[in-house]
Structure 1
Amino acid sequence: MMQQYVNVSPDSAMMQQYVNVSPDSAMMQQSHDEKKLWKIKKLLQDNDLNKRLLVTMNMAKKFLLPVLGTPHDTIEEGIVVAIWDVDTRTQHSLLLQKWSKSYVLTGDWNRDFVKRRSLKRHDMVGLYWDPSNNRFNFSVLPPEEYIVHIKPLILALSENNQYSYNLH
């Protein structure tokens, strides 16, 4: 199969046909505040569907630890945190622990979230701290919040600011 390269400007109709994420598209219409609400967004992997939800060290240091006000050595042993499932309006408790290079939410994660909510690989979940209720809020985020479907595309910027692209 012969590959075809076409030069188009970044704002051309042809480019928009393949990468349709203009500021006024339906995908972009969700309010800015609502998108900022979910501080931790996690695309579930196979290992998250077992006994624990892994949170990266960076995300934990940025969004979990500051709100808990708990000494780091206590977290290594594990602390119980309240989790409110905003979708089903149910309260749960999970154990937050520090592992060598990450943090994990364990306890009844599998029963209370994975099985009860029928979570699967590539589902996106979100967490944020609710200071008025002293708990983390949890939600399964809809696909349109995190997936942009485009045809496979390779872009290259030429000297005259034209994009060359190759559809696969």
Structure 2
Amino acid sequence: MKFSLLSAIALFAAAATAQTSNTVAGIDGHARMLQEDFVEVDDAELNRECHKQNGNYIPSLKAGQYSTSAFHNCFRTIDQIYEFTDTLVKQNPTLLSKFAISKTYNNATIYGYKLTNGHSQSLYFQSQLHAREWIAGSSILFSFASILDDITN
């Protein structure tokens, strides 16, 4: 009986303490008020908003200014990436070419792009191979745009 009574007292004490405490420890170790808990934000929704705010970037693409394009402000879909790179190919036909490399499991064409000024030296970039390497595509496209800007300027 003493053990049960002692257990009940401990349980009530723990419940009373938890009820009066308005703080919670975050994963970073900082204590926060319950009202300060972070609201989960949907990354996809944030990116859709970014697309709305940074749309219509294709008409503004100009040689020497590719790396400052609003295209780079958001994570883009594969269709937007191809639209961007196809525009670069059209605007720089003597430097840049597009060619089919292979097909995906779902029969989508995989494209390669070759940037050359006729000399034998070259750089090789590869990205967009795995879904969890999402930042690689954005990084490569920005680097690619910067290299084109440097050649033009």
TM-score (norm 1): 0.21
Structure with greater strand percent: 1
Higher relative contact order (CA 8 A, sep 6+): 1
Structure with greater helix percent: 2
TM-score (norm 2): 0.23
